[in-house]
């Protein structure tokens, strides 16, 4: 089956920078793809590029985004509006500010139905109540007339999800949907997303920097660093045998993955330096922060290779790293 969404060699350019370079990935119907990476790695820009809602200064310099056989980068504004909210929907990071404060949540949900399905306001309101019930908001008949400030953060994110799934989109982009939420709420919201994905047969692009989220909800993981894909794998493979030095660093910096982890067992490691050190470098963007770096790393950007089935990695020395015992790699 042809993938629902296929991104090929996507390059996003600002006047002075290229925050996303040569990014390729694909996602099939009903699948959850997680894109992980630290702040500034180009995750959110990629999401906005899929919606064709990039900031005005940015443009897509190269590559294509094929969705259901159509290249989104070549669609006109009118055709793109027709897709937005109807076939491709998006949930944003900040539920506190992503809803209009002076409109009731019911009208905000109804709006998307009125635009795309040409429903009357009465029918749209009925559907809005159903959708609130679908995202497990209690007493939806009463809540439909509430304003966003009357809801908690988790409730607002549920409303955002209701808006996003209102027209049963084929692709849902969730840009750090739980980052601003309480930990106890996070799992509820992600479970809800996952249930809806199954019920509506949606493909989900889940953007996150939380590896715990990836382990539990993703079918496929893309690790991004400085605008490039550095590794792609199935979640189990990624956690059991990370190949790229950056992925290893990320895992080592994450407490949830070791059993019974406690701060007395030893400090969490960190990846030295910051993503800014990749600016203006030739060769591998991770080289300044990499403990495996060699002289040859500065010559050219490493190409993606296929070390095993369903895996991609952009580091030529992965085989030799693999020889290093796993535990030693984790304490890098």
Partner 1 sequence: MPALLRIGRTLRRTLLQAIPTVLGIVILNFFLLQLAPGDAADVMAGEAGSATAESMAALRSRFGLDNPVLVQLGHYLNNLAHFSLGFSPRYGMPVADLIAQRLPGTLTLMAFALTIAILLGVILGSLMASFAGRIPDRLLSIFSLLFYSIPSFWIGLMLIVFFSVKLGWLPSGGAGTIGSRLTGLPAILDKARYMVLPATSLALFYVAIYARLTRASMLEVKNQDFVRTAYAKGLTPFGVTARHILRNALIPITTMAGMHIGGMLGGAVVVETVYSWPGLGRLAFEAVMGRDFTVLLGILLLSSLLVIIANAAVDIIHAWLDPRIGAR
Residue with Cβ nearer partner 1 (97 or 152): 97
**Binder of partner 1 out of 89, 151, 161, 284 (CB under 8 A):** 89
State yes or no: residue 149 binds partner 1 (CB under 8 A).
Answer: yes
Minimum separation from the CB atom of position 45 to partner 1 (A): 13
Residue with Cβ nearer partner 1 (111 or 210): 111
State yes or no: residue 275 binds partner 1 (CB under 8 A).
Answer: no
Residue with Cβ nearer partner 1 (93 or 292): 93
Q: Which of 180, 224, 196, 240 is nearest to 37 (CA)?
A: 224
Q: Which of 59, 107, 38, 4 is nearest to 270 (CA)?
A: 38
Q: Where are the beta strands (DSSP E) in the chain?
A: 5-13, 20-27, 32-36, 59-67, 70-71, 88-91, 171-175, 203-208, 220-225, 228-233, 312-313
**Are 136 and 158 in contact, with CB atoms under 8 Å apart?**
yes
Residue with Cβ nearer partner 1 (17 or 103): 103
Residue with Cβ nearer partner 1 (137 or 243): 137
Q: What does the alpha-carbon distance between residue 97 and residue 316 come to, in Å, rounded to a whole number?
A: 43
Cα–Cα separations (whole angstroms), residue 107 to 99, 118, 162, 210, 234? 11, 14, 12, 33, 40
Q: What does the alpha-carbon distance between residue 106 and residue 222 come to, in Å, rounded to a whole number?
A: 36
**Binder of partner 1 out of 120, 121, 150, 195 (CB under 8 A):** 150
Q: Is 102 left (phi over 0), alpha (psi -120 to 50) or beta?
A: alpha
Instruction: For tokens 């047969």, name the residue.
Output: 201
Residue with Cβ nearer partner 1 (78 or 259): 78
Q: What does the alpha-carbon distance between residue 128 and residue 190 come to, in Å, rounded to a whole number?
A: 21
Of the candidate spans 1-9, 32-40, 98-106, 301-309, the one that interacts with partner 1 by CB under 8 A turns out to be 98-106
Strand-pair category, 171-175 with 88-91: parallel
Of the candidate spans 146-154, 255-263, 278-286, 324-332, the one that interacts with partner 1 by CB under 8 A turns out to be 146-154
State yes or no: residue 163 binds partner 1 (CB under 8 A).
Answer: yes
Residue with Cβ nearer partner 1 (95 or 249): 95
Strand order in the sheet with 5-13: 20-27, 5-13, 59-67, 70-71
Tokens of 252: 């080592």
Number of residues that bind partner 1 (CB under 8 A): 29
Of the candidate spans 22-30, 65-73, 96-104, 191-199, the one that interacts with partner 1 by CB under 8 A turns out to be 96-104
Residues in 99-128 that interact with partner 1 by CB under 8 A: 99-103, 111-112, 115-116
State yes or no: residue 94 binds partner 1 (CB under 8 A).
Answer: yes
Tokens of 319: 């085989």
Minimum separation from the CB atom of position 85 to partner 1 (A): 4
Minimum separation from the CB atom of position 84 to partner 1 (A): 4
**Binder of partner 1 out of 84, 143, 158, 229 (CB under 8 A):** 84
Residues in 22-81 that interact with partner 1 by CB under 8 A: 51, 53, 81
State yes or no: residue 143 binds partner 1 (CB under 8 A).
Answer: no
Is the CA virtual torsion 227, 231, 236, 240 positive or negative? negative
Residue with Cβ nearer partner 1 (83 or 250): 83
Residue with Cβ nearer partner 1 (20 or 83): 83
Q: Which residues bind partner 1 (CB under 8 A)?
A: 51, 53, 81-86, 89-90, 92, 94, 97-103, 111-112, 115-116, 145, 147, 149-150, 160, 163
């Amino acid at each position: 089956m042809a993938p629902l969404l296929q991104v090929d060699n996507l390059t996003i350019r600002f006047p002075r920078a290229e925050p996303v370079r040569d990014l390729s990935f694909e996602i099939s119907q009903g699948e959850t793809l997680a894109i992980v990476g630290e702040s500034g790695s180009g995750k959110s820009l990629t999401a906005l590029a899929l919606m064709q809602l990039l900031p005005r200064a940015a443009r897509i310099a190269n590559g294509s985004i094929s969705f259901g056989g159509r290249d989104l980068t070549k669609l006109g504004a009118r055709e793109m509006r027709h897709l937005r909210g109807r076939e491709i929907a998006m949930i944003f990071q900040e539920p506190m500010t992503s809803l209009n404060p002076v409109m009731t949540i019911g009208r905000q949900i109804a709006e998307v139905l009125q635009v795309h399905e040409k429903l009357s306001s009465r029918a749209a309101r009925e559907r809005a109540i159903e959708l609130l019930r679908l995202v497990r908001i209690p007493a939806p008949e009463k809540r439909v007339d509430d304003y966003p400030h009357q809801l908690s953060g988790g409730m607002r994110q549920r409303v955002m999800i209701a808006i996003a799934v209102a027209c049963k989109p084929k692709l849902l982009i969730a840009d750090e949907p739980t980052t601003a939420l309480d930990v106890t709420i996070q799992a509820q919201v992600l479970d809800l997303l996952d249930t809806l994905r199954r019920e509506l047969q949606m493909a989900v692009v889940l953007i996150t920097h939380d590896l715990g989220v990836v382990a539990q909800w993703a079918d496929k993981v893309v690790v991004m660093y400085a605008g490039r894909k550095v590794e792609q794998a199935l979640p189990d493979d990624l956690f059991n045998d990370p190949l790229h030095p950056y992925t290893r660093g990320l895992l080592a910096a994450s407490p949830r993955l070791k059993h019974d982890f406690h701060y007395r067992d030893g400090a969490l490691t960190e990846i030295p330096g910051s993503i800014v050190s990749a600016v203006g470098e030739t060769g591998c963007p991770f080289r300044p922060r990499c403990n495996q770096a060699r002289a040859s790393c500065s010559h050219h950007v490493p190409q993606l290779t296929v070390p095993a089935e369903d895996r991609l990695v952009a580091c030529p020395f992965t085989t030799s790293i693999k020889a290093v015992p796993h535990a030693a790699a984790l304490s890098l």
